[in-house]
Amino acid sequence: MSIWEDLGTVPHALSYVNVGGVRTRVLQAGSGPDLVLLHGTGGHLEAYARNVGGLAESFRVTAYDMVGHGWSSLPDHPYTIDVLSAHLVGLMDALGIARAHLSGESLGGWVAAWTAAHSPARVDRLVLNTPGNIANKPEVMERLTASTLAAVTDPSDETVRRRVEWLFHDKSLVTDELVRLRQAVYTRPGYLEAVRNVLVLQNPETRARFSWDPSWVGRVSAPTLLLWTDHDPTGGLDEAKMLLGWLPNAELTVISGAGHWPQWEKPAEFLAEHRRFLR
């Protein structure tokens, strides 16, 4: 199934929005309560191509490329969690969204939770989708850094496919189209410099300022669905349960047969959980 087949019958608008000088690519569809979708490290809004149609039946869905990602601007400074969160809040301001549900995958989950802790008035409910490496394991940080840099410095079919396959449990679901999309992002002018600003969060010293920790996670008052999988390469259920214990008002759901991208591998389950929890 192509991304454009998934979106083919879904009325949507793709545009660029100026967010404090950052040209930001945005896709919007549907009507109802606002739901903002946040992708992961090195990602782009097409990560949710299989979900926008179903979610748009119940929500006004906004998916976007975070600063330094996808086809948004690539300013030359580190894209730390506070920077990514400020960009999200700025985007909501620019779109006239006072308050929204946030659903973030991997890095996007980290940004969503940080925003809920530091700007609670802007967040209704929260879905943290495989937020990843809660325990700050060095081997996970090194693996993500190495595979991403390899794909950006040598954007061949083989290295980029290997980077995308890392996200999946069923690697047969990685399409040529997904690989080409990543190649297009990784070969943008200036992206080699930008990816070092993206990967700064895999540096232990920088990461320590924003690491998942009860001191700030405990401030998340928004009802939270912690969405995990049984084959997440960044962390097992022990980390999910650790995070669950830090969140004041949260529940845990595990999707079977998926890796780090359950929204793509198991779209029906992903949609059902969002409809159940966010309504």
Which residues are part of the catalytic machinery? 106, 232, 260
Distance CA 95, CA 275 (A): 23
11, burial (CB in 10 Å: exposed 0-12, middle 13-18, buried 19+):
exposed
| In contact, 277 and 250? CB cutoff 8 Å | no
| In contact, 124 and 100? CB cutoff 8 Å | yes
In DSSP terms, 61 is beta-bridged to 29, 35
Look at residue 157 and give its three-state secondary structure: helix
| Residue 170 tokens, joined | 């069923």
| Residue 84 tokens, joined | 């990514």
| In contact, 182 and 70? CB cutoff 8 Å | no
Distance CA 171, CA 121 (A): 39
Handedness of CA 137, 125, 256, 63 (dihedral sign): negative
Closest CA to 183 of 168, 161, 167, 199: 161
Distance CA 122, CA 60 (A): 16
Contacts of 1 (CB under 8 A, 6+ apart): 50
